Structure 1
Amino acid sequence: MRKTIGAVAVAAAVAGVGGAAIAAATETGYHPNSGGFGGFGGPAGPPPAAHHTSSDPLSLHGEYVVADDGAFETRITQTGKITAISPTSVTARSADGFSQTYVIHEVEGASAPPFAVGDPVVITATRKGETATVSTMGPPLSPGI
């Protein structure tokens, strides 16, 4: 009986340490409203930038596909600096040289985007064919981009 209890205690300790090591290595947690562990798997896409630590590199640019009412949608993210901007488009260039132009939908009564050439920016967009349309645009969470 004592051997069984001892074996169960050792197994529980090993499982606890292993789970803690995995949690520490990923530095993220369970978020039930974002699709599961670390935000992956749900309609929200990858976890937001707030999950990065000061030692994590920021994502410069990327694409991912999400399900959208039985269809699929390609979403884009980019962190960089604005190289051109107008009321209908914005072009950003990432630190690695990647450059992308995005369409800005005109909204009646809306003012021009409050950004200028040289401003650091994080853009999320939706791609349909060759056209990338801005969904959100804002300053990066980390200064110095």
Structure 2
Amino acid sequence: MNYFLVKSEPFKYSWQQFLKDKQTFWDGVRNYQARNSLQAMKTGDLVLFYHSNEGKEVVGIAKVVKEYYQDPTTTDERWVVVDLAPVETLKKPVTLETIKADPLLQNIALVRQGRLSVMPLTREEFDRIVALGAG
């Protein structure tokens, strides 16, 4: 199993909307490194959902339910989407400030490459953030 983090501005697509929708395709990625992470996602992989700009916090866990395919919002074949479904809301959102202060999370892309919208995590990093969100 692989682990990832995706970012969304809550005013564009929030965790609450995701819960209502029950599933969505993750579109709008226009960065090659983020696209490569989408292409690496396999069905069943777990994904942390991060609210960027407003909140700046991990709020939930999702899973990949369909592997990458052509982004239906563009005809440009370079861009892909995956389908995600929500799994669980974290009891306590994990803020960027908390992540930056945690010695075990110093090397994650969220800290090193703040503008990247889709990024891989190690199992240890994923598990640490989930533990912090357990309250």
* TM-score (ref. length: structure 2): 0.22
Larger Rg: 1
Which structure's residues are more often helix, by fraction? 2
* TM-score (ref. length: structure 1): 0.21
